[in-house]
Chain A
């Protein structure tokens, strides 16, 4: 009995010692996602990896990111059948801590976090007073802080917005985007693969939950979420650990089944999310769009006040003027962003995203259409560069993974 107590005490002491040395992330003076002097763009810590894998790099929201490696379609298909790894380190990672962190987030986010448990994540919107969407984010509750992951293109806008609305709220906002890395592993084989590789199995993490894990002195968080319609995780960690981790994942990922884990770029990420009916900021969402029209009313709390809440409850009561819908478009042509949706020659909406769906083998699009014509199975037309193509309204998502 005694030695168990001693052992327990020693263990606790060791954990205390360990905790002193486990830094959540690398200190700012260590490695960072760096600004390239030649291009003026930020490079994630995986830049060399992307180049070595033959990625086509593009400017995305001030970052040099991989658009594709082998091709968008093969990377898309591999994500639907195997497991793909995406570098999403360009996304903003903002840490809110201090006594009023929760209250402040309750003020600026549409989602009610009052009942959010430690280890839980929520999709939420940040809206202006009119209910217009400033960004869509994932907020996660840690023991002592909240993490908000935002779109790369909106990070600076959000930082300014939060600063402008800080008022008397007592909290600290730290932008950890440059000191950390973020990858996502997605696909039907992702969880099984990660179960073999992570210190604690990914399959133990519930959807829209996360686990703070560590391996030796590297600490990282594993989130059971994604943006592809597949099962998988998103992982955030410090830069040094991220580079080691990536090599480790590839070594093991390739060992356990040849070529099981493949890198995929932003191109496939876009086509995957579109099939999964997930909105993209700048396409489906912007400051002129409200969450109710976008079909995101489920992420807008009815039981708290926040910036935009009165405008949004009015829209909810009156019903939105237009709604985001899915369209199946006939024929071989893709209805792109901005394409008009018509009914009997009259414009009733606009396409926000469209693609030749690699999984379904047909043309799909998302569009805002007048609420009167937004019911599933409504026949409409899209005006693709002067040619009218038949379209039919369909419920989102276009693709749902087999359970």
Chain B
């Protein structure tokens, strides 16, 4: 399945989708495939200031613990309470119900990020 084309991608396997003054952040299907069954997400506190390319949380699966990186500077506008209760939502629907956080940001130029096509070419799913 190709990645959705309405958003941007990072080399650390986050996706983000600009919506007004927020960007919604999640992890890609490729990352989900690598992690396997997700058991826990360590979320940042709402309101917390985030810096681009710095860790904003961690995600744990049956196999491994991985760090989550903020794609842009900003602050935590919202965390996904649904995923907090049921981390398997990330496995089931990483681009929809399995989103992780919304970041309030002033960033507008996303040209340095990967498009869906570029991401899929770089990280083909087995």
Contact = CB atoms under 8 A, between A and B. Distances in A.
Interface of A: 56-57, 67-68, 71-73, 267, 271, 332-334, 336, 355-356, 358, 385
Nearest to B84: A332
B117 interface: no
18 contacts: A56-B36, A56-B126, A71-B36, A72-B36, A73-B37, A73-B62, A267-B63, A332-B60, A333-B60, A334-B39, A334-B65, A355-B62, A356-B39, A356-B40, A356-B60, A356-B62, A385-B58, A385-B65
A332 B65 CA distance: 12
A271 B65 contact: no
Given A333-B42, A334-B40, A356-B40, A267 B33 contact: no
A56 B42 CA distance: 26
A117 B1 CA distance: 55
A358 B61 CA distance: 11
B33 A56 contact: yes
Contact of B37 (A71, A332, A385): A71
A57 B34 CA distance: 11
Contacts of B91: 71
B64 interface: yes
B96 to A, nearest CB: 18
Most chain A Cβ neighbours within 10 Å, of B33, B42, B58, B60: B60
A73 B37 CA distance: 7
A182 to B, nearest CB: 24
Contacts of A358: 62
B126 A57 contact: yes
A72 B60 CA distance: 14
B55 to A, nearest CB: 10
Nearest to A267: B36
Contacts of A332: 39-40, 60
Contacts of B39: 332, 334, 356
Contacts of A57: 126
Contact of B64 (A56, A68, A336): A336
Interface in B19-37: 33, 36-37
A72 B32 CA distance: 12
A65 to B, nearest CB: 13
A355 B37 CA distance: 11
